[in-house]
Structures are given as C-alpha cells and as structure tokens.
C-alpha cells in the first residue's frame, strides 16, 4: 500500500466519527427547532390571552396606587405594533416552553462523551436551572413588576390644584419589552448558584475565592443591575439585592460541594492504600 493510500485510510477513519457527530447534531437541532416552532404556534394562537395575563401585575399596581384596576388602558400607536407585539410574545413564550426540550437535546448530544460520574453530576444542574429561572420569573411577576409600575403610576398628575393632568398610557410593545427584560434579567441572575456550583465541581472555583471577592461582587451586582433594568433606583435595587443573596447561596453551595468531595476522597484513600499494599513489589518477583 502506498503512502497516499495510508493517508487516505486514516482520513476516512477520522472522518467517520465526525460524520456521526454531525448527523447526531442535525437530529438534535431538528428536535429543538421543531419543539420551539410548535410552542411558538401555540403561544401565538393564545397571544392575546397571554398578554392579558402579563397585564395583571399592572392591574395590581393600579390598585396599590388607589386607582380603578378595571380601567387599565394600554395603547399602540402604529397599525402593526400590536401584531408584532404578539409575535414577540409568542417567541418569548415558545422559548420558555421549549427550553426543557432544548436543554434535554443538548444533554443527549454531549452525554455520550461524558463519564458516568460526570453525567450524574451534570444532571442535577440540568434540573435546577429551569427551576431557578422560574423562581426568578415568579419574583418578577408577583412582586417586582407591580412594584415598578406602582412607582411609575405614582408620578401621575390628576389635574387638580392647578396641575396639568398627566396620565400613564403605556404602549403594548414597551410594556412587553419591560416585563421581558425583567424576566430574562432575573432568570439569568438566578442561574448564579448553578454556574458557581459547576465551576466548583470541576475545580475552577472555590468557596474561599468567592468569599474573598464578596465586596467586588456587591459592587458588580449594582453595576449589572443598572445596565439590565430600567433607569430607576427601585429597579436597580430590586435586581441587585436578590443577586447579592444568590451570591451568598452560591458560596454556601460551593462549600457543600467541597465538603462532599473531601468526604469522597477520604472514603477512597483506604481502598487505594489497601490495593497498593496488596500489589507485589517488582523486586520480590
């Protein structure tokens, strides 16, 4: 066999696993995109009902401000604005609904390349991630959005005492953008314990390092909150304070992981020492 034939054979052997990986990637992408498309269609069909659900926190804020919650009014100033708002809402809802399927497809794609202990370590974080995201979204829906909208409603002028009447009439697109930004911001921030725990498990981070950087983390929390939230102090503090609390949770979870790893090492040491003692010395043979 000539040199060129050997090279050709090596290329064919190396290309076979690559083709299999590409086929598997294509299958996972089809499942993910198909799941998102179906979820998008369902959400678009119920887009108006979903939007009315998202307006409920605004009604709560109206009631807190002493106004009639049944007279809540949102507007749109362009003919196509409400339609594209529904499309954006359907995409947002489709991504949220399809996320478990997409995450499962990602896991199934990378799982064959992981050891059994790595798969068992990765699976709890795959479950915890959507749960923490939903916790952040729930905080936005039930507390943070009503608080922010109440703050803005309090700036209205009723037109009495020689004041000009100034009323808040949010546009549907701007209201949806506000609540989507808040949900994504809080959802991402609530992933902090998951990310730090994964980094701790693989040895790239330690609880001591997290504790030493606590002061910088507090400052960074307020800076990131100022970028991600609307430009008012209530929104900034509303995101920064949960971030700081989650940072403390991340330190605690990292310590728990380190203690569990230390116990595993102590449990393995007697077994390894017994195996070493039972191994015959090369000089005695």
Average pLDDT, the chain: 83
Whether the pLDDT of residue 11 is over 50: the answer is no
Tell me the whole-structure pTM to 2 decimals. 0.77
Q: Residue 155's pLDDT is what? A: 84
Distances (CA, A) of 56 to 73, 76, 146, 195: 12, 18, 9, 32
Q: Which two tokens stand for residue 108?
A: 């199934």
Specify whether the CB–CB gap between 74 and 55 falls below 8 A.
yes
Q: What is the pLDDT of residue 117?
A: 67
Is pLDDT of 35 > 90?
Answer: yes
- Round to the nearest angstrom and report the end-to-end CA distance of the chain: 44
pLDDT digit string (tens) for 114-173? 777 667 777 777 888 889 999 999 999 998 899 888 888 888 887 777 778 888 889 999
> d(Cα 64, Cα 238) in Å, to the nearest integer?
18
Residue 166 DSSP SS3: strand
Instruction: Compute the distance between CA of residue 54 and CA of residue 140 in angstroms, rounded to an integer.
Output: 11
Residue 272 confidence (pLDDT): 59
Mean pLDDT of 35-56: 96
């Amino acid at each position: 066999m000539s040199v060129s034939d050997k090279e050709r054979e090596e290329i064919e052997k190396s290309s076979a696993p690559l083709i299999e990986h590409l086929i598997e990637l294509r299958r996972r992408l089809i499942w993910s995109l198909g799941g998102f498309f179906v979820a998008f269609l369902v959400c678009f069909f119920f887009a108006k009902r979903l939007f009315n659900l998202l307006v409920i926190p605004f009604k709560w804020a109206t009631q807190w401000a002493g106004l009639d919650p049944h007279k809540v009014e949102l507007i749109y100033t362009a003919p196509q604005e409400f339609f594209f708002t529904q499309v954006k809402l359907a995409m947002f809802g489709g991504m949220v609904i399809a996320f478990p399927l997409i995450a499962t497809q990602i896991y199934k794609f990378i799982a064959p390349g992981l050891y059994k202990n790595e798969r068992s370590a990765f699976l709890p974080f795959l479950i915890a991630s959507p749960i923490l995201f939903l916790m952040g979204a729930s905080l936005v829906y039930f507390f943070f959005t009503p608080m922010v909208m109440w703050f803005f409603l309090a700036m209205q002028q009723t037109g009495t005492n020689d004041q000009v009447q100034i009323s808040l009439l949010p546009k549907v697109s701007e209201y949806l953008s506000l609540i989507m930004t808040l949900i994504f911001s809080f959802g991402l921030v609530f992933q902090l314990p998951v990310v730090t725990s994964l980094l701790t498990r693989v040895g790239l981070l330690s609880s001591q390092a997290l504790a030493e950087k606590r002061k910088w983390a507090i400052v960074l929390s307020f800076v990131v909150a100022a970028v991600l939230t609307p430009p008012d102090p209530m929104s900034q503090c509303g995101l920064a304070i949960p971030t700081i609390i989650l940072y403390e949770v991340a330190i605690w979870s990292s310590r728990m992981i380190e203690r569990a790893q230390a116990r595993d090492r102590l449990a393995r040491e007697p077994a390894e020492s017994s195996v070493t003692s039972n191994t015959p010395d090369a000089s005695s043979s």
